[in-house]
A and B are shown apart, each in its own frame.
Chain A
Amino acid sequence: GAGVSQSPSNKVTEKGKDVELRCDPISGHTALYWYRQSLGQGLEFLIYFQGNSAPDKSGLPSDRFSAERTGGSVSTLTIQRTQQEDSAVYLCASSPGTANTEAFFGQGTRLTVV
């Protein structure tokens, strides 16, 4: 596609359930980022993939959060045993991977845990 695609756009889940959020980056982009944006807040870094390097997981808030990137393309962010404080917009971005290049963002997945 022309841009970063995220699915679903909106997700409502019950507390304690697991959820998977998907990100399709721009074709050829080697870098992929996940961010979390809570209501009225800035973007909180979660995880970063760059090519075949080990991902930077330093932003994941707990071991309930994990992410993978298959074949250097599609990425899935998984949240296990969701809690109400996980409610937020989850944004994915990709970039060509060279220095000083723009990160292109998807429109995000709004997750609501009830």
Chain B
Amino acid sequence: AQTVTQSQPEMSVQEAETVTLSCTYDTSENNYYLFWYKQPPSRQMILVIRQEAYKQQNATENRFSVNFQKAAKSFSLKISDSQLGDTAMYFCAFMLRGNTPLVFGKGTRLSVIA
């Protein structure tokens, strides 16, 4: 079975600074996908960024980028120029190729401080 571990229950960052959220996962499979989801207080889960395991290039989406280390099974999220609206729970998720259910970590609560 696949597992996802987020070792930082809570983090805080000053507005306009950079923060990195950690995620590690465990799988014996080779073809899979990784995701970061954001959950603000509204409870709405929003996809932030995704990474295909077969791609070596790290995904980027505006201020959000990942550091994907396949051998180490690590998938960290970097948020640059943090904004107050980035305050939320962030969940790392794993999905095997073949459209199987997403497996989530326990989340990191990020607070952006003015």
Contacts and interface: CB of A to CB of B under 8 A. Distances in A.
B104 interface: yes
A45 B2 CA distance: 12
A41 B43 contact: no
B99 A33 contact: no
Contacts of B101: 33, 45, 48, 56, 59
A107 B43 contact: yes
Interface residues of A, number: 26
A54 to B, nearest CB: 14
A105 B90 CA distance: 14
Contact of B44 (A59, A95, A102, A105): A105
Interface string A85-114: 000010101010111111101011010000
B78 interface: no
Given A43-B91, A45-B101, A100 B33 contact: yes
B43 A42 contact: no
B105 A95 contact: no
A43 B50 CA distance: 18
Interface in B99-113: 99-107
A41 B107 CA distance: 7
A50 interface: yes
B98 to A, nearest CB: 6
B99 A42 contact: no
Contacts of B63: none
A101 B38 CA distance: 17
B98 A99 contact: yes
A102 B102 contact: no
Given A45-B101, A50-B99, A100 B52 contact: yes
Interface of B: 6, 33, 35, 42-45, 47, 50, 52, 91, 95, 97-107
Interface of A: 31, 33, 35, 41-43, 45, 48, 50, 56, 59, 89, 91, 93, 95, 97-103, 105, 107-108, 110
Given A43-B104, A100-B50, 10 more contacts: A42-B6, A42-B91, A48-B100, A59-B101, A100-B97, A101-B99, A102-B50, A103-B102, A107-B42, A107-B44
